[in-house]
Structure 1
Amino acid sequence: MLEAASAIEAIDLLAHNVQQAQQLVSRLLIDDGWNAIEVDKVVQGWILQGDYLLRSRSSESADFVVGNPPYIRLEDVPEVRMAAYRRSCNTMGGRADIYVGFYEKGLVSLKSDGKLAFICADRWMRNQYGRGLRQLIARQYSMDLALIMHDVDAFEDQVSAYPAITVISNRTQGTAIAADTRRSFSSAQAHEFASWTTSSNDQYVDTETYHAARLPHWFAGDDSWPSASPARLAMLEELSQRYQLLEDRRTGTRVGIGVATGADKIFITDRADLVETDRLLPLSMVRDTKTGIFEWNGSYLVNPWDSAGNLVDLTNYPRLASYFKRHASVLRKRHIAIKQPSRWYKTIDKVDPHLTAQPKLLLPDMKMTIHPVLDEGGYYPHHNLYFIVSDSWDLRVLGGLMLSKVAEAFVEAYAVKMRGGTLRFQAQYLRKIRVPNQDDIDESTCNALREAFEKRDSSAATEAALRAYGLDHLPD
Structure 2
Amino acid sequence: MVTQALFDVDEPPLPEALQEAVRHGEVFTRRWIVELILDLVGYTADRDLAVLRLVEPACGEGAFLGPIVERLSKSCRAHGRSLSEAVGSMRALDLLDENVKRSRTLVRDRLTADGWEHREVDAVVRGWVRQGDYLLAAHSAGDADFVVGNPPYIRLEDVPDERMMAYRSACPTMGGRADVYVGFYEVGLRSLKPGGKLGFICADRWMRNQYGRRLRQRVTQRYSMDLVIVMHDVDAFHDQVAAYPAITIIRNGVQGPAIAADTTREFGQSEARDLLRWTADPAQKAVTATAFKASRLPHWFPGEDSWPSASPARLAVLEELSDRFRLLEDETTGTRIGIGVATGADKVFITDRPDLVEQDRMLPLAMVRDTTTGRLDWGGMYLVNPWNATGGLVDLAAYPRLRAYFVQHGAALRKRHVAVKQPERWYKTIDKVDPRLNARPKLLLPDMKQVIHPVLDEGGLYPHHNLYFIVSDTWDLRVLGGLLLSNVAEAFVAAYAVKMRGGTLRFQAQYLRKIRVPDPAEIDEETSTALTAAFERRDVRAATQAALRAYGLEELPD
Report TM bin, short chain.
over 0.9
Q: Residue 67 of structure 2 corresponds to which residue in structure 1? A: none
- Give 1:49-448 correspondences, 5 Å limit: 49-448=131-530
| Distance in 1 of aligned mates of 2:530 and 2:438 | 29
| Distance in 1 of aligned mates of 2:179 and 2:319 | 29
The one-letter code sitting in structure 2 at the alignment partner of 1:271 is R
- Give 1:43-54 correspondences, 5 Å limit: 43-54=125-136
| Distance in 2 of aligned mates of 1:41 and 1:304 | 79
The one-letter code sitting in structure 2 at the alignment partner of 1:387 is F
Q: Secondary structure at the match of 2:365?
A: strand
Indicate the larger mover: 30-39 or 8-17.
30-39
Q: Residue 56 of structure 2 corresponds to which residue in structure 1? A: none
The one-letter code sitting in structure 1 at the alignment partner of 2:299 is H
Q: Post-superposition shift, 1:199?
A: 2.6
| Distance in 2 of aligned mates of 1:189 and 1:36 | 38
Q: Post-superposition shift, 1:200?
A: 4.1
The one-letter code sitting in structure 2 at the alignment partner of 1:114 is G
| Distance in 1 of aligned mates of 2:283 and 2:100 | 42
| Distance in 2 of aligned mates of 1:270 and 1:209 | 56
Deviations 1:105-149 (A, max 9, x none): 000000001000000000000000000100000110000000000
Deviations 1:143-184 (A, max 9, x none): 000000011011111111110000000001100000001111
Q: Secondary structure at the match of 2:333?
A: coil
| Distance in 1 of aligned mates of 2:291 and 2:327 | 35
| Distance in 2 of aligned mates of 1:38 and 1:288 | 79
| Distance in 2 of aligned mates of 1:209 and 1:420 | 25
The one-letter code sitting in structure 1 at the alignment partner of 2:529 is N
Q: Secondary structure at the match of 1:300?
A: strand
How many residues are paired up? 476
Q: Post-superposition shift, 1:32?
A: 1.1
| Distance in 2 of aligned mates of 1:44 and 1:418 | 50
Deviations 1:243-297 (A, max 9, x none): 0000000000001000000000000011011000001111100011000000111
Q: Post-superposition shift, 1:30?
A: 1.2
| Distance in 2 of aligned mates of 1:290 and 1:300 | 18
Q: Residue 14 of structure 2 corresponds to which residue in structure 1? A: none
| Distance in 2 of aligned mates of 1:29 and 1:195 | 29
| Distance in 1 of aligned mates of 2:308 and 2:343 | 32
The one-letter code sitting in structure 1 at the alignment partner of 2:437 is L
Deviations 1:321-346 (A, max 9, x none): 00000000110000110100100000
| Distance in 2 of aligned mates of 1:394 and 1:431 | 18
Q: Secondary structure at the match of 1:292?
A: coil
Deviations 1:230-250 (A, max 9, x none): 000000000000100000000
| Distance in 1 of aligned mates of 2:89 and 2:275 | 28
Q: Secondary structure at the match of 2:280?
A: helix
Indicate the larger mover: 25-34 or 389-398.
25-34
Q: Post-superposition shift, 1:41?
A: 1.9
Deviations 1:174-218 (A, max 9, x none): 000000011111111112211211134111001111110000000
- Tell me the TM-score normalised to structure 2 length: 0.85
Q: Residue 450 of structure 1 corresponds to which residue in structure 2? A: 532
The one-letter code sitting in structure 1 at the alignment partner of 2:453 is H
Q: Secondary structure at the match of 1:219?
A: coil
| Distance in 1 of aligned mates of 2:187 and 2:123 | 26
Q: Secondary structure at the match of 1:465?
A: helix
The one-letter code sitting in structure 2 at the alignment partner of 1:252 is G
Deviations 1:402-427 (A, max 9, x none): 00000000000000100000000000
